[in-house]
Amino acid sequence: MKKFFRKPSKVALTSLIATIGVAILLMCVLRLAEVDSKVVHMIGKGTIAISLPFLILNPLFGFIYSFFIKGKSKILYILLHLACICTISAFAFVAFMFRYFVPFGP
């Protein structure tokens, strides 16, 4: 484990892949909202409760580690992590606005 955290490019890449994977998993779980099963809704609530803090902290962690990368890929990793952070923030903002402030929201 010590060797893994000493290589910032591997940490940043793993963080980026994990962020994209969990975001796709969350979108798939949100599509299951049409199912009328209590078990599916319980699994969905648990997945959302676990994945949202992960999607907040993991891109930030990878973004910080991206500054320690040496070479030409540093800027690429920084931009990709920044794009993930901005996309997740915009998605959360839109979901919050439709949920609490727009009268015709779901």
Instruction: Note the pTM of the prediction, 2 decimals.
Output: 0.77
Q: What is the pLDDT of residue 3?
A: 77
Structural contact between residues 74 and 66, judged by C-beta atoms closer than 8 angstroms: yes
The mean pLDDT value for 24-31 works out to: 81
The mean pLDDT value for 73-83 works out to: 91
Q: What is the pLDDT of residue 95?
A: 67
Structure tokens at 59: 């891109």
Contacts of 44 (CB under 8 A, 6+ apart): 29, 30, 32, 33
**pLDDT, mean over the chain:** 81
pLDDT beyond 90 at 17: yes
Structural contact between residues 11 and 69, judged by C-beta atoms closer than 8 angstroms: no
